[in-house]
């Protein structure tokens, strides 16, 4: 996975609605983020699998970021 893909992923996480990040189950959240990434840039099958694994390993951080957004809005 290259730096551009990582930047696009984290940009996508920031652009995704907080409620979506908090409410979806793990599998649905991974699928949603991959779908959002696909809309920005077509991804090869290997890239999709690598990104899916990366997202799965960072789900706690993604959800903590969403919680932090809620706290800062309150």
Averages of pLDDT over runs of 10 residues in the chain (74 residues) are: 92 94 96 94 89 97 93 81
Cα(23)–Cα(45) distance, rounded to whole angstroms? 27
If you write DSSP's letter for every residue of 5-26 in order, what string do you get?
HHHHHHHHHHHS-HHHHHHS-H
pLDDT value, residue 11: 95
pLDDT value, residue 63: 96
Q: What is the pTM of this model?
A: 0.90
pLDDT value, residue 1: 82
pLDDT value, residue 44: 86
Q: Between the CA of residue 57 and those of 18, 64, 70, 71, 74, what are the distances in Å?
A: 19, 13, 22, 24, 28
pLDDT value, residue 26: 97
Which distant-in-sequence residues (6+ apart) come within 8 Å of 11 by Cβ?
none
pLDDT value, residue 40: 87
């Amino acid at each position: 996975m290259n730096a551009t893909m990582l930047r696009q992923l984290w940009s996508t996480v920031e652009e995704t609605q907080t409620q979506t990040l908090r409410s979806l189950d793990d599998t649905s959240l991974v699928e949603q983020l991959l779908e959002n990434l696909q809309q920005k840039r077509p991804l090869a099958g290997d890239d999709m699998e690598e990104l899916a694994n990366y997202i799965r390993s960072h789900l706690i951080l993604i959800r903590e970021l969403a919680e932090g957004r809620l706290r800062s809005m309150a």
